Amino acid sequence: MKNLIAELLVKLAQKEEESKELVAQVEALEIVVTALLRHMDKQNQQALIDSVEGALDNAKPDSLVPAQDAEMLHQYVKKLLRHPRS
């Protein structure tokens, strides 16, 4: 029983580490996208935003992806493009 608990704790620690790494990757991407948007002139910035939003609107999520997850992705992308980090 102790071995099972120890194995579960090790797996949990590994998952937590993977989660931290994913959070760091997402935050790094947010910083990069924000910096790129800030260095673009307004016309090119708007063209990029329209292009990304258009691609998102036309994308059909896989049937295995829950509609709620697809909507969450849309909301995060639009938030990132329209209201980048300060």
- pLDDT, residue 85, reads 66
**3-class DSSP state of 64:** coil
Average pLDDT over every residue of 50-75: 84
Average pLDDT over every residue of 67-83: 86
- Contact of 3 with 11, CB cutoff 8 Å: no
- Residue-wise pLDDT tens digits, 3-46: 999 999 999 999 999 999 999 999 999 999 999 998 999 999 99
Q: Rounded to two decimals, what is the model's pTM?
A: 0.68
